[in-house]
Structure 1
Amino acid sequence: MTTKSRRRQPAAASAFAPDAIEVHPRHLQIGGDWVASFAVTGYPREVHPGWLQPLLTYPGRLDVSLHIQPVDPRVAADRLRKQLGKLESGRRHSAAHGRLADPEVDAATEDAYDLSDRLARGEGRLFRCGLYLTVHAASEQELVEEISALRALTASLLMDAKPTTYRSLQGWITALPMGLDQIGMTRTFDTAALSAAFPFTSPDLPPPDPTSASTAAGVLYGWNLGSQGLVHWDRFACENYNSVILGRSGAGKSYLVKLETLRSLYRGVEIAIIDPEDEYARLAAAVGGTYFPLGTEGIHLNPMDLPIHTRPDGRRSAPADAVTRRSLFIHTLLSVLFEQPLTADERAVLDQAVTATYQQAGITDDARTWTRHAPLLSDLRAVLTDLGGDTARELASRLQPFTDGAFRGLFDGPTTMPPEGHLLVFSLRNLPDELKSAGTLLTLDTVWRRVSNPSTRRPRLCVVDEAWLLMHQQAGAEFLWRMAKSARKHWAGLTVATQDVGDVLGTDLGKAVIANAATQILLRQAPQAIDDIVHTFALSEGERQFLLSADTGQGLLSTGTQRVALQAIASDGEHELITTDPAELASLPKPNDETGEFAEIDSGHDLVLDD
């Protein structure tokens, strides 16, 4: 039987509707396209997260349509009870007549009892789901081959796909994105099985919890370039929460970092960002974050502040060795400021001077004195001058530019204000180049005090953009390495993003920072750095060529030995907040000249995945 349907189409609709549809018993001919539809009637007993992913990775053109209709809990309980009665009655009847037990009936009965218990405890619901497949081909012979390949694929997944014989038109309409199920061949799914059907987990990445089929609670990074499925990853489900992002300039590092930041804020994660190029100001203004522009007049960070924590009851506390820890940090800071390690004599003199400086301010090893006003770096220089000796005078002379000279602005006063908020952005753009490494170290120290506060436990992320500012100095690299190793204990993750791959991979400390990152993202690489990347991450030749030719926003997300190629995606509203394209920024709203605040940006656009 063949039915031809022709009608004149308006000019505007001609681009979307075919000129003719020929309806055959088992297939359709839609213009020059041959189409066959199938309804899935048999399913595997157990499914895992992303179990429909093989259908999405089918190499041909295949439409997968899943129709979902919730079942009323009372109706579900009543039908389940009747089904249990039928199954149990059949088992008893077979046993009474001495027949062998049917394994399929026994398995169905056990599953029904388990499902009934979970429904009674409110751990899930029932849904009636219809899964339909529509395969396309350019000719009838090609359609026969595609049908054979599709049925072999569904059989390998323990699914039984039946052709929509004499309902081929209804099958095609059912697969269209109109929400119409004109076939009506459904199966009952529970919440766990249905949630595992959605492509929010990639088969290339391990699920956060292999024993759970629940939807992942992580962040949507983009789509899988191999399957067009979604890449949804939860850093806080790994053995550590650190991440490293490596890519050449213009590869999309900051874009990806800002996208992850924005979506992590939705989850209630507190985030602190060290921003060397002032790229996060618009994002902070849009989400009500705190913007801390170092290097501007009146903004100070006192490196001699003790790590005092305010507890929920209002009382203040500090670690038992607070003064000792601060003395060690001063050693690290001066090594970064002087751009060379301190000698043994310099460390001995500096340690003596730091202790004397705190004593002059009334701060001793007695914890009751730790809430007094901390001394300044200029006080430390004065003590070094008074100590006498060549080493002390040399240290005081080298400190002079940072206390009384051109670089005193950052240290010339107590800390301006304690940074607070769900998003903290420390901008280093206004700092002189000679102070950016020290500014990065000071902000990391400030963030670490907040992270290590035992009275405010919550998930946190610390983002260090352009980490090469610290990695090219031994003392700074050691501080970043210690933070990478200790962050997990405080429910925090460290994100290290850099374009100078050599500064990270060229040192043992840099490699240790990468080794302590469970999540590693490689974006487009320069040919000069690709060999080091291939050797460090054990990449294949195909992955090497991919990183050399990847477009902006494309890269490899690696978790140990498993990797997935992804393309970062953002909604229109997100893109307006995180783009750094000068041409796009020129057309966006400017800050209000009087208030300094940014105009409100419409971020209510839906996320659309376009090919």
Structure 2
Amino acid sequence: MADIIAPDGYRIHEDHIRIGGSRWVRSICITQIPNRVRIGWLDRLFSIGDVDVSIYLEKGKENEVLTALNREILDLETKLEQARRSYDTTQLSRLRKAHKDAWSLREAIQLGDNAMCYVTIVANVAADSRQELDHKCRMLEERLSGRGIHIREAFLQQADAYRSALPYGINFLEDSFRKNLDIGAATAGFPFNQADLAHENGIYIGTNLQTGGPVFLNGFLPPPAFSNNHMNIFAKSGGGKTTAIKEIVTRSLPQDIRSVILDWKGEYGIVTDALGIGINIVLSQSGERYILNIFEINEDVDEKGSRALYLNEHIATVKGLLTALISQAHKLELTIDEKVYLEEAIKEEYEAKGIHEGKPDSIYTSTPQRTGEESFILGKRKKEMPTISSLYERLSLNEAASRLCKCLSIFKHGQSLGLFDGQTTVDLQGEPIINLDLSRLEEHTARPMANQVVLHWVWQEFIKRDRTVLKRVIAEEAWSYLQREETATFLAKLAKTARAYTCSLTVSSQDFKEFAIHPIGSSVITNASQTILGLQEESDLEYIYEKYQLSEGEKRQLVKFKPGEMLIRLENAGSTLVKVERAEFEKPFISSSYLEERAGAG
């Protein structure tokens, strides 16, 4: 048996061992441990991948331990008195804490509730090349140092350290790297892990590929589970990204979680059509059915019910939006005077409607509205808002703003880019799913501009309304938002502020690398506490590996996934491999392959 499992040979170097012709191993030891540790404090070592770890525990003699603790307590009391006399408040706080911990530990040992032990932690880190080995060890050092854990390669002791990490149960290093820990801290370093991801009130995602258990994910858990409710979904074309989003949206319905989908390719309208609920808003340069007015404004109601109207902030946003649209459409920049004319005209438009800063009631009216010869709408309702056409008419009265008027003209109703001119014709109140389909807009100019307007409109009409309702905004093909600074910046704004409105931002894209190297894109995905990774391109692997500190095994799995297989990476909870599963009744509106088969059969 030994001959079968033994390598062809090995060569011992001062800082590594080469085993056979294709394996490089470096033996490392833990040399410093923080004063306080939590369960799983060695998880970053175990998750590096292709690593063997041995933890040697030797219980200390009680009389020796208590003698040492008494000596330490006496030393701390002396230092405390010195700190009091010198009024060193910084040292006082640290010493009091250390003194209290030492007293508590001595009492626990005397009562038999705890014990001190000598601990040696040694690991063999392996790789397929010397370059990869160096890279893994550097990454491991960075990961552990962030938790106050220091490692050191067993320099000139590689052979003894290597054998110590093997399952012999013999510590060949003896006292070289021995540290003192109490039993609780030592056992907290063992690789305990929750076998299954099963959040309370979570939605069913699929089956855990490692345990066979069901996976339930609740993305709206409060801290400390998640610092925010945002999610990233990355997978190459055909990697299950669209299917996962459809599952999350539809399975959230029983929990009253409302969803808006910014649908770049027109793939999600079938969900609202098949379910018979929600609304599918198809934006078109030729159609007039749906209008999203960029001048829409809503009051802001905080958690305590206090109302506010931030009109000046909104005016600045509308001005910036129109300035960006003009720049994109005409390839020119407005002059300082033109920007002043634009802001003044926008402000006058709201004043003409009787809408004022800090007065939320000013956006409502009780005047009866005629809807027919003998029919009226009575009661409180929102006023009609300014429009691009009314802004154009106001600016046309200013001769100095003639160039600005000319630039705005193509955004008027009936013109090539006039789809956002007019009173809003969409009411989102109560709709559980809102799909905003941008696929019919011209791809290179109209669609990117619509991205920007739609984000602004969703912020006003969906995110800011009713903080008591759980909401989700899904930015599909989110790489498109990084193509322009304005949309990238607004996406980053949502990532930072949406949580205050009980809203989750879900970023979905095929191209992880584009987000990783983009300064704004990188901050957006860093802000997410949940990430779902499907089948990936080889070119994205290193960026994903670095960003999420995956193990080597997890990294390799990302290019081997079968249809429906994904990795869920959660903040403070590690990774779960899952098989996303669909019930038969879900296939008509979730499974892309099902739809393609049906189309072929028809």
TM-score range normalised by the length of the shorter chain: 0.5 to 0.7
Cα gap change, 1:394/1:563 in structure 2, threshold over 3 Å: closer, same or farther? farther
Q: How far 1:302 sits from its partner (Å)?
A: 0.9
For residue 528 of structure 1, give the secondary structure of its aligned residue in structure 2. helix
SS at match of 2:451: helix
In the other structure, the counterpart of 1:578 is 590
Question: Is 1:240–1:488's contact at 8 Å kept on the other side of the alignment?
Answer: yes
1:555 CA displacement: 2.1
The alpha-carbon distance between structure 1 residues 495 and 469, as it changes in their structure 2 partners (threshold 3 A), is: same
**Amino acid of the structure 1 residue aligned with 2:526:** A
Instruction: Give CA deviations for 1:314-354 in whole Å, capped at 9, x if unaligned.
Output: xx997332353243244135425633896782544432232
> Which residue is equivalent to 2:434?
424
| Residues 297 and 217 of structure 1, relative CA distance in 2, 3 Å threshold | same
Q: Name the CA distance, whole Å, in 1 between partners of 2:362 and 2:311.
A: 11
1:416-495 superposed matches below 5 A: 416-420=425-429, 421-433=431-443, 434-453=445-464, 455=466, 457-495=468-506
User: Counterpart of 1:408 in 2: which secondary structure?
Assistant: coil
SS at match of 1:469: helix
In the TM superposition, what is the alpha-carbon distance from 1:218 to its structure 2 partner? 0.6
Structure 1 residues 474, 585: CA separation in 2 closer, same or farther (over 3 Å shift)? farther
1:225 shift after superposition: 2.0
Superposed displacement of residue 404, structure 1: 5.9
Structure 1, 421-430 or 443-452: larger mean CA deviation: 443-452
Task: Using the TM superposition, give the Cα deviation of residue 470 of structure 1 relative to its aligned residue in structure 2, in angstroms.
Answer: 1.7
Alignment partner, residue 389 of structure 2 = 378
Instruction: Call closer, same or farther: CA 1:329–1:342 in 2, change over 3 Å.
Output: farther
Closer, same or farther in 2 for the Cα pair 1:468/1:378, shift >3 Å? farther
Which residue pairs with 2:295 in the alignment?
A: 304
Give the corresponding residue for 2:252: 264
Give the deviation of 1:362 after TM superposition.
Answer: 4.7
Contact 1:273–1:465 (CA<8 Å) still a contact in 2? yes
What's the CA shift string for 1:195-254, capped at 9, x where partnerless? xxxxxxx8257775xxxxxxx211121222222222222111122111111111111111
Matches within 5 A, 1:400-419: 400-403=409-412, 406-419=415-428
Q: How does 1:150-229 map to 2 (within 5 A)?
A: 203=194, 216-229=200-213
Contact 1:239–1:518 under 8 Å retained in 2: yes
Alignment check: 8 A CA contact 1:307 1:322 kept: no
Provide the residue aligned with 2:227 in structure 1: 239
What SS is found at the alignment partner of 2:538? Answer: coil
Residue aligning to 2:282: 293
Does the 8 Å contact 1:451/1:490 carry over to 2? Answer: no
Cα gap change, 1:227 to 1:532, in 2 (>3 Å): same
Q: What is the root-mean-square deviation in Å for CA atoms of aligned residues? A: 3.2
Instruction: For 2:261 and 2:460, locate their aligned partners in 1 and report how far apart those are by CA, in whole Å.
Output: 14
Match of 1:350 in 2: 342
Partners of 1:204 and 1:233 in 2: CA distance: 14
Flag the 1:408–1:545 CA change in 2: closer, same or farther, 3 A. Answer: same
User: Structure 1 436/205 Cα, relative in aligned 2: closer, same or farther at 3 Å?
Assistant: farther
Q: 5 Å matches for 1:67-78?
A: none
Name the CA shift for 1:343/1:513 in 2 (closer, same or farther; >3 Å).
farther
Deviation of the 1:366 alpha carbon: 7.5
Q: Secondary structure at the match of 1:299?
A: coil
Q: 2:490 & 2:415 partners in 1: Cα distance?
A: 26
Measured in 2, the distance between the counterparts of 1:303 and 1:465 equals 21
Q: In structure 1, list runs of 5 or more residues that go unmatched.
A: 1-102, 104-201, 209-215, 591-611
C-alpha separation between the residues in 1 aligned to 2:325 and 2:194?
45
Name 2:35's counterpart in structure 1. Answer: none
Question: SS at 2:592's partner residue?
Answer: coil
CA contact (8 A) 2:567 2:576 kept: yes
Describe the superposition over 1:84-109 as per-residue Cα deviations: whole angstroms up to 9, x where unpaired.
Answer: xxxxxxxxxxxxxxxxxxx9xxxxxx
Other-structure match for 1:86 = none
2-structure distance, mates of 1:401, 1:566: 49
Please tell me the residue identity of whatever aligns with 1:576. Answer: P
| Aligned residue pair count | 377
1:539, CA displacement in angstroms? 2.7
- The DSSP-based 3-state class of the residue aligned with 2:468 is coil
Residue 543 of structure 1 aligns with which residue? 554
- Give me the whole-angstrom Cα distance separating, in 2, the residues matched to 1:337 and 1:466: 24
Label 1:521 to 1:342 Cα distance change in 2 as closer, same or farther (>3 A): farther
Describe the SS at the equivalent of 1:551: coil
TM-score (structure 2 length as normaliser): 0.57
Q: Which amino acid aligns with 1:483?
A: L
Q: Aligned equivalents of 1:366 and 1:490: distance in 2?
A: 19
The amino acid of 1:321's aligned partner reads: Y
Partner of 1:282: 270
Output the TM-score relative to the length of structure 1: 0.56
Inter-CA distance 412–325: structure 2 relative to 1 (3 Å threshold)? closer
Equivalent residues of 2:568, 2:576 under 8 A apart? yes
- Superposition deviation, residue 309 in structure 1: 7.7
1:151 corresponding residue in structure 2: none
Superposed CA offset, 1:465-484 (max 9, x none): 11122222111111111112
Task: Check conservation: 1:204, 1:563, Cα contact below 8 A.
Answer: no
Q: What is aligned with 2:405?
A: 396
Give the superposition deviation at 1:573: 1.0
- The corresponding residue for 2:61 is none
What is the CA distance between 1:400 and its match in structure 2?
2.6
For residues 502 and 393 of structure 1, the distance between their equivalents in structure 2, rounded to whole angstroms, comes to 44
CA distance in 2, matches of 1:203, 1:247: 26
What whole-Å deviation, never above 9, does each CA across 1:277-306 have from its counterpart, x for those lacking one?
222222112141122222133321110122
Deviation, 1:446, is: 3.3
1:336–1:476 Cα contact (<8 Å) kept: no
1:565 aligns with 2:585: no
SS of 1:352's equivalent in the other structure is helix
For 1:355 and 1:513, the matched residues in 2 are separated by 32
1:276 deviates by 2.0
Asked if residue 504 in structure 1 is aligned to residue 515 in structure 2, the reply is: yes
Identity, % of aligned positions: 24
Per-residue deviation, 1:429: 1.9
Select the residue among 291, 316, 323 that pairs with 1:327. Answer: 316
Kindly provide the amino acid, as one letter, of the partner of residue 310 in structure 2: D
Q: Are the counterparts in 1 of residues 198 and 214 from structure 2 also a CA contact under 8 Å?
A: no
1:360 shift after superposition: 4.4
**Distance (whole Å) between structure 1 residues aligned to residue 362 and residue 476 of structure 2:** 37
For 2:220, what is the secondary structure of its paired residue? helix
Give the Å deviation of 1:455.
4.7
Whole-angstrom distance in 2 between the partners of 1:266 and 1:488: 21
Q: Who is 1:168 aligned against? A: none
Change (3 A) 1:470 1:396: farther
- Structure 1 stretch 288-297 or stretch 577-586: which is displaced more? 577-586
The answer on whether the counterparts of 1:218 and 1:233 sit within 8 Å (CA) in structure 2 is yes
How far apart are residue 379 of structure 1 and its match?
2.6
**CA drift at 1:578:** 1.0
Change (3 A) 1:451 1:413: closer
Q: State the shift of 1:370 in Å.
A: 2.8
Q: Distance in 2 between matches of 1:349 and 1:529?
A: 47
Change in Cα spacing, 1:546 to 1:404, as seen in structure 2 (3 Å) is: same
Corresponding letter in the other structure for 1:584: E
